[in-house]
Chains A and B, each alone.
Chain A
Amino acid sequence: MKLDSFLNATDRLATLVPELLDLLGEKEKTPTGWQALLERAGALRLQGGKLSLVATLYGPTGAGKSTLFRNLTGIEVPAGDEIRPLSRGCAMAVPEQWDLPERGPALRSVLPGFDLRPLDRPDRLRQEDGQGLVWYRSADRLGGESRGGAGPGAPGLFLVDVPDFNSLEIANHERAERVLRRAEVVVFVVTGDSYADQKVVEELARCCQVAARLVILITKVSSPEKARLKWTDLLDDKLTRTDLPWRAKFQGKREDGRTLEQFLRECPVHAWPLAANPGLEDLRPVTAGAPPLASLLLGLDAEKVAAEGLLQAGASTSEWVGQLANRAEVARKERQRWRAALDEDLARAGLAVAGHEFPIGRTLEVLMEESRAGQNRVFRWITYPFSRISGWLQGGFQAMTEAIRSAISKPGSGGELVRLEEAERKSLKRVAEELADKWRDRLPAWVGALDSARCRQACDALATATLPSPKTNWEETLRQSAREWVEKNPTWAHTLPVVLDLTTVGGLGLFVLDIGTTGGLLGSHVVLGSLGAGGLVAGGAGLAAMLLRLADKMHFQGVLEEADRAWREQRGREIADHLRQHLLPGLLGEKLREADRLTSFPMEELRRLAAELTRKANGES
C-alpha cells in the first residue's frame, strides 16, 4: 500500500497542529488518535515500510495483565494480588531473532522514542522509572506456540505488558497510554466485577478509536458463561440505554465505516476464570468459533494490521482536525472582532484627546491671512500701516504673556504647541487608565488576565513616550474653507481685518492719550466711575453677545466647524496611532501577535491535509 502522501500529510500536520493548538490555548487537549498517528507514522518511516506489529495488554489495576503476560511469554514479571498497584514499568516480549545487539536500531525503530533496555531482573518493573522506558526480553514462543521462523528482515509481533490506567499511580496511566498509542493490537484485560466501571468503559472507547484489532479478556469470573452474560449486559443494556451518554460516544465511525459499537460487538471475547494459579489452559474463548488467544495473536497479518492501525489513527485524527479547524475559524473571527473593537476604542480615545484642545488661535490667524489675501490691492495699501502696528502690538502682547508663563512653568518653544502638548498628555493619561480598565473588564477568556502591574507598566511607558507633533494637513482644509468663506462673504472678509486693526491701534492710542493727559483719570474716573462695577460687567456681557451675533452674521460658524472637524480627525488619528504604538503593546502585545498569527494561519491547507488522511483511510489513493 502506497502511503507516501499519507505520511507527507502527517508530517505537515505534525507542524501545523501543535502551532494551532498553541494559538488556541489547547495544548493539553490532544486526543489519543492524534498521538497514535504520530507514533505509528514515525515507526513506519523508521522501519522503511516493513511494518512490525505491537500488541499491548491493557486494563485496570488487578485485572491480571502481568499474570497473562507471564503465562503467554514465560518471562518472569511481578504478578499477584498482595500489592496494588504492582507494576510500574512496561515489559516487552520480542521475537528471538530481534534480541541481538546488532538488531538494536531495528528494535528501536519499532518503538521510536522509547527507551528500550534488556530486562535483567523482574523487580525492575516495580521501580518508578521515567516515562518511555520499556524492558524487553526475547520469547520464542507465545502461549506455548512457536512464533515461527521469521528472519531478521521479517516483521514481528511485539507483545507489551503495561501498568494500569486507574490506580493511585498517575504515572502508570501515562506509561500505559503511551504504549497504547503505538500498539495496533490491544488485548483489553478486565475483571468480571470491573467491566462497568466508568473509567474502564472510557478506556474501552479509547481503544476502539485507535486500535486496529481489539480482543477482550474478562478475568476472575466463575465461568465463561458468566463472562458472556456480563459482556452481553454491557453491549445490550448499558451501551444502548438512551438515558446514558455512552450510546452517543460509541457511535463514532472507524476508518472502515463501522461504528465503535459495531467494532466492539465483533471483537473476540475470552474468559479467564478465577483460580489460585491461573493457567492458559483455563483461558477460553467466549465468542463462538474464536481461536485461542495466542493463536489469534500469532495469526495476525502484521503488515495488514499495522497498516490498518495507521489508517485508523488517521481517520480518528481527520475528524478531530476537522473539528479543530472549525473551532479555529470561530476563534479567528472572534479575534478579528476583538481587534476591530480595540481599534474602535483607540479611535474614540484619539478623538476624545484631540477634541479637548482645538487650536483656536491658529485658526483665527489663518482666517485673517486668507481675509487679507482676498482684499483689494489698493485697499490693502491704505490699511497697511494699521495692520503693521496691530501686528507689532499683538506680537508684543504675545511675547509678554509667554515671558510670564515661562516664569511660572516650563518654558516651551512654541506657545500654543506647548500648551497643546501639556493638555494632550494630561488627557492621554486619563484616557490610558480608562482604556486599561475597559479592556480589563471586557477581556475574552482566551486573552488571560491583564493584571494591575502590567497596566501600570504600560501606562507609565505611554507617559514617557514622545507625543507626535500635529501635522499641518488640517490647516489645508481650514485654508480651503477660509477661501470659500472669503469668496462667499467678500464684504465681511475685507472689513474684518481692518476693523480689528483699527480697534487694536485705536484702543492703544486712547490708552496712551489718557495716561499722557489726565494720568489715567479719564479711564478710571470717567469711564469706570460712571459705569461702576455693575456697569462694567453688563457692558462686558453685552460686548460678548455682540461679538457672537457678529460671528453668526459673518457665517463664521461653518468655517470653524469645518476646521474643528478636520483637526479632530487628523489629530485623533495621530493620537490613536500613538496609543496603538505605545500603550497597546504593553497591555496586550503578546495576544495581539497571537491573534495575527491565527489570522494568517493556513486553515485551508489544514483541512486539505485532514482530508488527505480520510481519502487514504477510505481506500482512495
Chain B
Amino acid sequence: MSEHPREAQMEGKRPGGASLLPWIAALAGRVGHFRRELLGADSWAPAARVGVELDRALAALEVPPTVPALVVMLGGTGVGKSELFNALIDTPGASPSSDTVRCHTSQPFLAIHPLDRAHLPGLPGLEPVLVEGGVPRGVVLADTPDIDGMIERHHGVTRQVLERADLVLFVTDPDRRANLQVLEELRRWAPRKRWLFVLTKADRYPGTIDSIALDFGKRLAETGFTVDRGSLFVVASVRPGDAGIERLRQSVLRPGDENRMPLLRQDAFLRQSAHALAAPLLQPFQEESGRLRALAQQGQARQEQAYWQALSQPRAADAFARVVKQAAWKELGERSGPFLFPAVWARARMQPLATGWALSRGLRGGALGVAGALGASALWALRGLSPLRHIAEALGEGFQDTLAAVEHDARRTLEDAGLDRIGIAEKTANSDEKKEMPAGLGAAVEGFLKHWTLSDLRPELLARVEADVDAAGRESARLATSGPGGWGILVAGNLLVAGMVGWVAWRLGKSWWLDTDLHTSFFLKAAALTVLSFLPGLLLLGWRVTAQVNPRRLRGLMGKGAPALAGGQLEKVQVALEGWFRQGGDIGKSLEEAQRLLSADLGPDATWGTSLPAQSAQSAAQARKAQPSGISRVNSIAPASQPASRG
C-alpha cells in the first residue's frame, strides 16, 4: 500500500492513518474510563475543567463519518469574511456583505454540496442559510458573524458554529491583526482545533503587505502557534483570480477529501484530550496532592506527639503497662517451652484483666470461641474492665481533644479546597493490606461487644492502641525470654517441670510393670508437686516480664509503622489526587504519541491546518500567566465573557 495518502486514495485503498484506528479506539476507552472516575470529583474546579475538556474530546468521536467536515471562518467584524466566503465558492453575493454597514452577517452561511445536504452538521437553535455548490462533497464551508462587534448575540452564534468546526480559518485584515479581543478568542479555541490563517485586503497595502504578513506571523507566534508557510494565506478577495484565494481554495476545498473525515475527527479527539490531560490542567492535581500530603503529615505528627505525651502521664502509662503485661503473657506461651507452656497459657487467660483482654481478642471459632465470647460479655458488661477503653480513657481528655482538633482541621482543609464532596472509592495508601474479617459466631459476638462498649471511642485510636499493645507485648515477651537470664529461666523452669513429670511417669510405669497399686496419697502428692513445680518458672518469668514492661520505657517496646491515629480523610483524598495525576499523565503521553503518528500519516502536503502543539500549549499557558490580567483571563473554559468594563 502506498504511504502517500493521496496516492493511496487514488488506488482505492485506505489512507495510512486508518491503521491507527484500533489503537485510538482503545485510547478512547481509557479516556472514557478516566472521565467516569473524575465524575465524582466534579465539585472540585480543576477536576471539572479536565472533565469538560474530556467530554468535548469524546464528543468528536460521536459525529458520524457521513457528516461532512465543517470548515469555519472566524474573525472580527469588517475583516472580510463574507467577501472571502463568496470568493472561495466563486459565488458573488452568496453571503451578503457591505463595505458600509458593519455587523452585517447575523446568521451562519453554509456552502454545502447537494449530496451532503442530508448529512448537515447539527446546529441547534440556529437558522443557517444554505448555499448549494462551490464546495466538493465532504466539506461544508461556513461564514459566521463576528466575534467582536457590538451585537453580542453574534458572538454566541459564532461560538456555537465553532464548537462543531473540524477546521478553522482565522481571518483578519492588516489593521485588526493585533486586536486583543479577537486574539483572545483565538487563544481560547487554539488547543482544540486545526487552524489556517488568512490575511485579507492585501490589495489595500500593495507595497507593505509582505512586512505586514511577517508581523502577523509574529503575533501568532506570541499566541503559541508555529505557523508555516502552508498555513498562512494572504488574499485580496475583491481581486479576480487572486493567487492567494486560489491557493486557499486548493487547500480547503479539495475534491475527494471525504475519506479523510474519520481521520480528521480522530485527530480532533486526540488533540483535545491531549490538551485536557496536558501538564497545565493536571498540575493542580499534583500541587494539591503535595499540599494535602504535607498537611496530613503535620496532623499526624501532632497526633503522635500528643499520643506520646499522654502515654507518658503516670495514669495512662500504668494502664498501658498493665495491659501490655497481659499481652506479653499471651505471647509467652509459644516461647516458654513445652513443659512450662500449660502453666503460662493458663496464667495468660485467668486474671480478670488478662481474661478480659484475651477474650476481647477473640478465641475465634467453634465452641471455645462462643464460650470465650460469652465470658467476655460478662466482663464487658461492667464496661470499666474493657482494657482498650481503660487505656483510651487513661490517655486523657487533652489527647482526645487533640485528635478531635486534627480531625476538624482535616475536614476544614478539604472544605477550603472544595475537596470535601468528592467521591472516592475506599482505598488507602496500604490498600493491599486487607484485614481478614474472621467468620463465625465468636467473631460476630466479638464485633457486637466491641460495638456496644467501644462505639463511642474512635476506631483509629482503638486500632492504634491494639497495635501498640500487641507490638509491646511481643517485644516484652521476646526480651523476657532472650539473653542468658531468659534462657536460664526457661531451661530451669522446664527442667523442673520435666523432672517432676518424669518422676511421676517413672513411678506410674514402675507400678504398672510390677503390677502394683499406687496409693491415692501418691496421686495427690504427685498432683501437688507437679503444680508446685510450675511455680518457680512462672514466678521467674513474671519477674522478667515486669522488668521489661517499664511504664517509662514503653516507647522502646513498640515498633514503627503503627497505623495513623485519626484524620485519614486527607490521606484518602491525597492518594486519589495523586492517582488521577499519574493516570492522566500516562494517558496524555499515549495520546500525544498517537497524535504525532496520525499527523504524520495525514501527510505533509495535506494542509489541514496547523494545530497548537502540546508544548506550545504549555508555553502559551506560561506566557499567559506572565501576561497582565487582560490576557490571562482567556484561560477560563467558560464561554467568552464581556471584557471588564472600566467606566
- Interface residues of A, Cβ cutoff 8 Å to B: 31-33, 60-63, 80-85, 166-168, 170-171, 173, 177, 191, 193-199, 201-202, 205-206, 209-210, 220, 222, 226, 229-230, 233, 237-238, 244, 246, 274, 276, 408, 426, 429, 433, 436-437, 440, 449, 451-453, 455-456, 459-460
Is B103 within 8 A of A238, CB to CB? yes
CB distance from A489 to the nearest CB of B (A): 42
Is A81 within 8 A of B647, CB to CB? no
CB distance from B395 to the nearest CB of A (A): 14
Is B174 within 8 A of A168, CB to CB? no
Residue of B nearest to A195 (CB): B102
Contact pattern, B 403-445, Cβ under 8 Å of A = 1, otherwise 0: 0110011001101100000000000000000000000000000
Is A194 within 8 A of B219, CB to CB? no
Is A197 within 8 A of B215, CB to CB? no
Contact of A197 among B148, B207, B631 (CB under 8 A): B148
Residue of B nearest to A276 (CB): B207
Q: What residues of A have a CB within 8 angstroms of the CB of B205 in the complex?
A: 81
**Contact segment of B75-83, B129-137, B463-471:** B75-83
**B131-166 at interface with A (beta carbon < 8 Å):** 148-152
Is B103 within 8 A of A206, CB to CB? no
Q: How far is the CA of A168 from the CA of B628 in the complex (A)?
A: 10
Contact pattern, B 165-202, Cβ under 8 Å of A = 1, otherwise 0: 00000000111111111010000000000000000000
Is B222 within 8 A of A452, CB to CB? no
Residue of B nearest to A228 (CB): B100
Is A62 within 8 A of B219, CB to CB? no
Is B409 within 8 A of A456, CB to CB? yes
Is A205 within 8 A of B647, CB to CB? yes
Contact of A229 among B100, B408, B631 (CB under 8 A): B100
Q: How far is the CA of A270 from the CA of B238 in the complex (A)?
A: 27
Is B416 within 8 A of A193, CB to CB? no
B521 on interface, CB distance cutoff 8 Å: no
Q: What residues of A have a CB within 8 angstroms of the CB of B519 in the complex?
A: none
A sample of 9 cross-chain residue pairs with beta-carbon separation below 8 angstroms, ordered by A number, consists of: A31-B646, A32-B647, A62-B178, A81-B175, A195-B102, A197-B149, A229-B100, A238-B151, A460-B405
Q: How far is the CA of A230 from the CA of B98 in the complex (A)?
A: 11
Contact of B212 among A82, A191, A196, A209 (CB under 8 A): A82
Q: How far is the CA of A451 from the CA of B409 in the complex (A)?
A: 9
Q: How far is the CA of A196 from the CA of B181 in the complex (A)?
A: 14
B645 on interface, CB distance cutoff 8 Å: yes
B122 on interface, CB distance cutoff 8 Å: no
Q: How far is the CA of A503 from the CA of B222 in the complex (A)?
A: 98
B589 on interface, CB distance cutoff 8 Å: no
Is B646 within 8 A of A433, CB to CB? no
Given A197-B148, A452-B412, A456-B409: A82 touches B215 (CB 8 Å cut-off): yes
B352 on interface, CB distance cutoff 8 Å: no
Q: How far is the CA of A226 from the CA of B102 in the complex (A)?
A: 12
Q: 6 tightest CB-CB pairs across the interface, nearest first?
A: A193-B78, A452-B412, A62-B175, A196-B102, A84-B178, A206-B647
Given A168-B178, A196-B102: A426 touches B397 (CB 8 Å cut-off): yes
Contact of A449 among B149, B175, B416 (CB under 8 A): B416
Is B630 within 8 A of A170, CB to CB? yes
Q: How far is the CA of A209 from the CA of B211 in the complex (A)?
A: 39
Is B643 within 8 A of A193, CB to CB? no
- Among A82, A85, A195, A206, max chain B CB count under 10 A is at A82
Interface of A is mostly: helix
Residue of B nearest to A229 (CB): B100
CB distance from B306 to the nearest CB of A (A): 13
Is A82 within 8 A of B76, CB to CB? no
B390 on interface, CB distance cutoff 8 Å: no
B516 on interface, CB distance cutoff 8 Å: no
| Interface contact tally, CB-CB below 8 A | 149
Is B405 within 8 A of A81, CB to CB? no
Is A196 within 8 A of B149, CB to CB? yes
Is B100 within 8 A of A226, CB to CB? yes
Is B102 within 8 A of A230, CB to CB? yes
Q: What residues of B have a CB within 8 angstroms of the CB of A209 in the complex?
A: 647
Q: What residues of B have a CB within 8 angstroms of the CB of A61 in the complex?
A: 175-176, 178-179
B101 on interface, CB distance cutoff 8 Å: yes
Q: What residues of A have a CB within 8 angstroms of the CB of B208 in the complex?
A: 80-82
Sort chain B's interface into a size bin.
Answer: 35 or more
CB distance from B569 to the nearest CB of A (A): 12
Known: A62-B178, A63-B175, A455-B409; 11 extra A-B contacts, CB below 8 A, are: A32-B646, A81-B174, A166-B179, A166-B181, A170-B630, A194-B78, A197-B102, A197-B181, A199-B180, A408-B315, A452-B416
Residue of A nearest to B407 (CB): A433
Residue of B nearest to A36 (CB): B647
Given A33-B647, A62-B175, A193-B78: A199 touches B100 (CB 8 Å cut-off): no
Residue of B nearest to A191 (CB): B175
Contact of B409 among A62, A166, A452 (CB under 8 A): A452
Given A194-B78, A274-B204: A230 touches B100 (CB 8 Å cut-off): yes
Is A196 within 8 A of B647, CB to CB? no
B401 on interface, CB distance cutoff 8 Å: yes
CB distance from A66 to the nearest CB of B (A): 13
Q: How far is the CA of A198 from the CA of B102 in the complex (A)?
A: 11
Given A62-B174, A194-B176: A199 touches B215 (CB 8 Å cut-off): no
Is A82 within 8 A of B211, CB to CB? yes
B250 on interface, CB distance cutoff 8 Å: no
CB distance from A316 to the nearest CB of B (A): 9
Is A199 within 8 A of B643, CB to CB? yes
- Among A83, A84, A173, A201, max chain B CB count under 10 A is at A84
B615 on interface, CB distance cutoff 8 Å: no
Is A198 within 8 A of B631, CB to CB? no
Residue of B nearest to A246 (CB): B150
Contact pattern, B 606-647, Cβ under 8 Å of A = 1, otherwise 0: 000000000000000000000111110000000000010111
- Among A33, A226, A274, A276, max chain B CB count under 10 A is at A276
Q: How far is the CA of A81 from the CA of B208 in the complex (A)?
A: 8
Residue of A nearest to B183 (CB): A168
Q: How far is the CA of A226 from the CA of B78 in the complex (A)?
A: 14
Is A167 within 8 A of B179, CB to CB? yes
Q: What residues of A have a CB within 8 angstroms of the CB of B102 in the complex?
A: 193, 195-197, 230, 233
**B79-121 at interface with A (beta carbon < 8 Å):** 79, 99-103
Q: What residues of B have a CB within 8 angstroms of the CB of A62 in the complex?
A: 174-176, 178
Q: How far is the CA of A31 from the CA of B162 in the complex (A)?
A: 35
Given A167-B180, A196-B77: A459 touches B148 (CB 8 Å cut-off): no
Given A193-B78, A201-B150, A440-B412: A170 touches B215 (CB 8 Å cut-off): no
Q: What residues of A have a CB within 8 angstroms of the CB of B76 in the complex?
A: 197
CB distance from B409 to the nearest CB of A (A): 5
Contact of A196 among B103, B152, B643, B646 (CB under 8 A): B103
**B258-298 at interface with A (beta carbon < 8 Å):** none
Given A197-B77, A244-B151, A455-B412: A85 touches B178 (CB 8 Å cut-off): yes
Is A193 within 8 A of B630, CB to CB? no
Is B204 within 8 A of A167, CB to CB? no
Q: What residues of B have a CB within 8 angstroms of the CB of A84 in the complex?
A: 174-175, 177-178, 215, 219
Q: What residues of B have a CB within 8 angstroms of the CB of A452 in the complex?
A: 409, 412-413, 415-416
- Among B150, B401, B630, max chain A CB count under 10 A is at B150
Q: What residues of B have a CB within 8 angstroms of the CB of A437 in the complex?
A: 408, 412
Is A433 within 8 A of B631, CB to CB? no
CB distance from B396 to the nearest CB of A (A): 10
